[in-house]
Copies of this chain bind each other. A is one copy, B any other.
Amino acid sequence: MRPRLSPDEAVERSDAARNRERLLEAARDLIGECGAEGLTMDRLAEHAGVGKGTVFRRFGSRAGLMLTLLSESEAAFQARFMFGPPPLGPGAPGLERLIAFGIERIAYVMEFGDLALAAENASRGRVEVPAAALWYRHIEVLLTEEGFAADPWLMARSLGATLAPDRLLNLVRVHGVDADRLSDSWRELVTRVVTAA
């Protein structure tokens, strides 16, 4: 009898693995050529030499694809604020970590912004980027650590909204704001929020 595999340990079929590699490579190619917003699922399928159905089978949606492309850099970012050296990682006071978090996030968006933007726009009904829950939680913990008692859960989300890629990119690209100015404003914001009135 064929051993039933639990979903976790299900093995990927070899052809499936090959196609996934092809698709990711093709995706990076196309993004390199045309930018993230120039990547369409049809062109990706054609460029990778697979059917369109395969693309959607792998990644579920365009957003899912973008998320996959982002995952390494996202993971690296997460690792840095959770386990890395201070002031971003543990070891520094909460406020300093909060400031560092925003500044690093701003830098991150400057680098991977288009991709993050494409990942956010789940076509149907605003699906939240899964990593976001982690950032919010992180901010919430730091707020609490600094003695912020009034609904830190919600305040974390408000502060996090300030760092949303679409907003930041809009400020930079349309209004010509630079990263330093964004960082200064973030510092001012969180400092005032944390400092008891």
Contact = CB atoms under 8 A, between A and B. Distances in A.
Interface of A: 126, 128, 150-151, 154-155, 157-158, 161-162, 164, 166-167, 170-171, 174, 177, 181-182, 184-186, 188-189, 191-193, 195, 197
A152 B62 CA distance: 37
B181 A151 contact: yes
A189 B181 contact: no
A181 B162 CA distance: 19
A46 B74 CA distance: 46
Contacts of A195: 192, 197
Contacts of A171: 154, 157
A150 B193 contact: no
Given A162-B162, A191-B197, A185 B126 contact: no
Contact of A188 (B151, B167, B181, B191): B151
A93 to B, nearest CB: 15
Contacts of A184: 150-151
Contact of A151 (B154, B170, B185): B185
Given A128-B170, A170-B128, A189-B193, A158 B151 contact: no
A191 B184 CA distance: 20
